[in-house]
């Protein structure tokens, strides 16, 4: 007689997208799987927001994580984008550095190459991203002078360059004198040895972000098909009330203390036409 195992095979929910949101999603996925043992959450390596938005309609992802809503061209595939969190976008240095704050004028000088050393004499190494990357756009938005300086930095030879968010964080951590753009959510959720710098004496805290005092904010969206699958609905509807998740995300991960209710009852933007 052959005995067959009756153990249920866990159903898989595949999630991926912008690197800035992956550490948080891994924590949410672990909490979800713990309370839903017949379902497992697989979080892929960084695909970027555009990669996630392309992957969802093709079925390569069940849920995409994006830091923007789909463009008009992407909307034709019929997508639903639901904002689920916000976090400060920050300029960061290694925890080995003694630098704790910076001014907009200093940021412009660093990227333009006129300020080349930290107070301790270490050569400053700004970590660059793609010109059309959301982090680069946010950095440029700080001032007209910084926008001009970043354009100059993109022509400077020898500066470190990163393609994805995790690579940028790796280089800011490991390259002596490095400075670059990341998010508070990534730093905290991945336990990075990075320090988020104050800008013009304003701390990039969730409290200052929620109050509007700190204006450099990254928004995160769940991207699904216009009619989400049963598994997607299970994850989306369970994410907000999961035990400990609100405390974990708001206090530990660095999300703003704002009320964002997830699909289908909250701030969802239908991308179908």
Summarised one tens digit per residue, pLDDT across range 30-57 is 988 988 899 999 999 999 999 999 999 9
Residue 64 maps to a domain: yes
Structural domain includes residue 197? yes
Q: What is the mean pLDDT of the chain?
A: 86
Per-residue pLDDT tens for 64-110?
A: 999 999 998 898 888 999 888 889 999 999 999 999 999 999 999 99
Give the integer Cα–Cα distance in Å for 87 and 207. 10
Residue 195 vs residue 74, higher pLDDT: 195
Query: Which residue has tokens 């999603």?
Result: 25
Both 20 and 76 in one domain: the answer is: yes
In a domain, 45, yes or no: yes
Q: Give the model's pLDDT for residue 253.
A: 53
118-170 pLDDT tens trace: 999 999 999 999 999 999 999 999 999 999 999 999 999 999 999 999 999 99
Can you give the three-state secondary structure of 91-121, one letter per residue? EEEECCCCCCEECHHHHHHHHHCCCCECCCC
Give the mean model confidence (pLDDT) for residues 261-270.
Answer: 36
- Domain co-membership, 74 together with 120: no
97 and 52 together in one domain: no
Burial 152-166 (b: 16+ CB within 10 A, else e): ebeeeeeebebebbb
Residues 140 and 241 grouped into a single domain: no
Residues 24, 77, single domain; the answer is yes
Higher pLDDT, 116 or 1: 116
Instruction: Say which CATH number the domain at 241 has.
Output: 3.40.190.10
The whole domain housing 118 covers 88-211
What's the confidence (pLDDT) of residue 255?
A: 63
> What's the CA gap between 167 and 54, in Å, rounded?
22
- Give the confidence band of 25 by pLDDT, cuts at 50, 70, 90: very high
**More confident call, 15 vs 226:** 15
In a domain, 19, yes or no: yes
Same domain, 144 and 76: no
Q: For residue 198, is it within any domain?
A: yes
Cα separation, 64 vs 3, whole angstroms? 40
Same domain, 69 and 93: no
Among the candidates 194, 211, 228, a domain finishes at: 211
Residue 223 to residue 70: CA distance in whole angstroms? 9
Which of 167, 192, 211 terminates a domain? The answer is 211
User: Does residue 80 lie within any of the structural domains?
Assistant: yes
Chosen domain end from 211, 230, 258 = 211
- Check whether residue 229 and residue 171 sit in a common domain: no
What is the rounded CA–CA span in Å between residue 127 and residue 107? 12
H, E, C per residue of the chain: CCCCCCCCCCEEEEEEECHHHHHHHHHHHHHHHHHCCCEEEEECCCCHHHHHHHHHHHCCCCEEEECCCCCHHHHCCCEEEEEEEEEEEEEEEECCCCCCEECHHHHHHHHHCCCCECCCCCECEECECCCCCHHHHHHHCCCHHHHHHHHHHCCCCCCCECCCHHHHHHHHHHCCCEEEEEEHHHHHHCCCCEEECEECCECCCHHHHHHCCCCCEEEEEEEEECCCCHHHHHHHHHHCCCCCHHHHHHHHHCCCCCCCCCCCCCCEEECCC
Number of domains in the chain: 2
The Cα–Cα gap between 178 and 125 comes to: 4
* Top-confidence residue, 8 or 189: 189
- pTM confidence score: 0.85
Residue 3 lies in a domain: no
Residue 266: inside a domain: yes
> Could you report the per-residue pLDDT of 203-229, keeping only the tens digit for each?
999 889 888 899 999 999 999 998 888
Q: How confident is the model at residue 9 (pLDDT cuts 50, 70, 90)?
A: low
Same domain, 173 and 127: yes
Are residue 126 and residue 221 in the same domain, yes or no?
Answer: no
pLDDT at 83: 86
Q: Say if residue 111 is in the same domain as residue 179.
A: yes
Q: Are residues 166 and 144 in the same domain?
A: yes
- Predicted pLDDT at 268: 36
């Amino acid at each position: 007689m052959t005995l067959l195992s009756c153990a249920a095979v866990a159903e898989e929910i595949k999630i991926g997208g912008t690197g800035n949101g992956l550490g948080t999603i891994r924590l949410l996925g672990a909490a979800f799987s713990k309370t839903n043992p017949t379902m497992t959450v697989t979080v892929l390596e960084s695909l970027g927001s555009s990669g996630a938005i392309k992957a969802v309609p093709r079925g390569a992802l069940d849920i995409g994580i994006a830091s923007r809503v789909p463009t008009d061209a992407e909307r034709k595939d019929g997508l639903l984008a639901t904002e689920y969190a916000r976090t400060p976008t920050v300029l960061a240095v290694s925890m080995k550095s003694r630098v704790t704050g910076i001014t907009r004028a200093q940021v412009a000088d660093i990227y333009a190459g006129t300020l080349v050393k930290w107070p301790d004499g270490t050569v400053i190494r700004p970590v660059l991203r793609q010109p059309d990357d959301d982090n680069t756009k946010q950095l440029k938005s700080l001032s007209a002078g910084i926008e001009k300086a970043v354009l100059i930095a993109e022509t400077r030879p020898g500066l470190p360059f990163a393609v994805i968010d995790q690579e940028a964080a790796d280089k800011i951590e490991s390259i002596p004198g490095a400075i670059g753009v990341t998010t508070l959510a990534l730093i905290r959720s991945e336990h990075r040895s990075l320090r988020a710098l104050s800008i013009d004496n304003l701390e990039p805290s969730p409290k200052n972000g929620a109050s509007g005092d700190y204006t450099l904010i990254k928004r995160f969206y769940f991207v699904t098909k216009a009619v989400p699958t049963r598994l997607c609905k299970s994850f989306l509807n369970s994410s907000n009330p999961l035990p400990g998740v609100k405390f974990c995300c708001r206090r530990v991960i660095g999300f703003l203390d704002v009320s964002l209710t997830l699909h289908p009852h909250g701030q969802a933007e239908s991308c179908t036409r």
